[in-house]
A and B are shown apart, each in its own frame.
Chain A
Amino acid sequence: MITLEHADIRRILPHRHPVLLVDRVLELEPGSRIVATKTVTGSEPCYAGLEEDLPASAYAYPASLLVESFGQTGAVLWLYSAAMAGERSEGTLIFGSAREVTITGRAYPGDVLRHTVEIDQLIGDNAFMRGETWVGDRRIATLGSVLAVVREGLAVGTGS
């Protein structure tokens, strides 16, 4: 079973602080499946500048960042698998599209997001993925289909 620590993840993903949203890979089966975690803390920039005396719901981890963290987890699986196969993509990693994403729960500071992502299909520089996000034994999101793309021509020398 392949596991990856943060230093390994930084070698795979082009994202950097504070938008590198994968902390640790618990399981990785190349070309197939990944399980990774991202710990939510109250010291993250998204919790800066909030008003006082807000209800608990105000501290829900932003859905945008949850989707980004999921997508980055899928990208780790894709790019790690491609590197193992001797393939190398030149270009900028972007979020292409998604369908059938349902968000049924929230995460709060102190929670650990656990993303399970499977690659459905690889077509050239496009990776179709799906999966779920859990906090403990609560499933908080189901992502029916997420497309990540490596797009050339946006910038020179960026990306993986």
Chain B
Amino acid sequence: MSRRFAAPLTAVDTVDIADAPDGARVEAVKRIAGEDPYLVGHYPDFTIYPGVFTLESVHQAIRHWATERHGPGAVAELAAITSISFAAPLLPGDTLRIGCDLTTRDDTPATVRAKVRCHRGDGALSARMTLELRIDRRDGDDHA
């Protein structure tokens, strides 16, 4: 699968985007597979989806929103992790469900705040985080 950005793995399987009053609601799903890139080393005798890969999954879900909103050249760069915490672990066969509320600000450069809760397939909270991202529209067309 080809990508437009460096990433350790394809960290979302599906992404759904809906408009919300202050921005957007982004929901994404990732099924954890032991064969995913990098997981062979994390760890050799016991595979667990690294916490930073949950961050990567959320980031990729927001990248989908950015390209849908601003065009294929738009880049959503992670500017800050205000807070992030992990609860239930994700193991091969588990499903990660991401729910992300985006608040957009039309300053320059455009910034986005993401409040995110992630659940495992069985409903257990696996992570929550608040992120700030900078949207670089570059060669992207604004579809708004």
A residues touching B (Cβ–Cβ < 8 Å)?
14-20, 45-51, 54-55, 57-65, 67-68, 71, 92, 94-104, 106, 151, 154-155, 157-159
Contact = CB atoms under 8 A, between A and B. Distances in A.
Contacts of A16: 40-44
Given A16-B40, A92-B43, A57 B136 contact: yes
A45 B58 CA distance: 20
B80 interface: yes
B42 A15 contact: yes
B124 to A, nearest CB: 14
Interface in B72-126: 73, 75, 77-86, 89
Contacts of B55: 63-64, 67
Contacts of A55: 73, 138-139
A155 B50 CA distance: 15
Contacts of B41: 15-20
Interface of B: 1-8, 37-46, 48, 50-53, 55-56, 59, 73, 75, 77-86, 89, 136, 138-139
B7 A94 contact: no
Contact of A96 (B3, B46, B48, B85): B85
B112 to A, nearest CB: 14
A13 to B, nearest CB: 10
Contacts of A18: 37-38, 40-41
A154 B79 contact: no
B86 A94 contact: yes
Nearest to A109: B6
A62 B84 contact: no
A71 B51 CA distance: 11
Contacts of B50: 19, 68, 95
A14 to B, nearest CB: 5
B3 A49 contact: yes
A159 B50 CA distance: 13
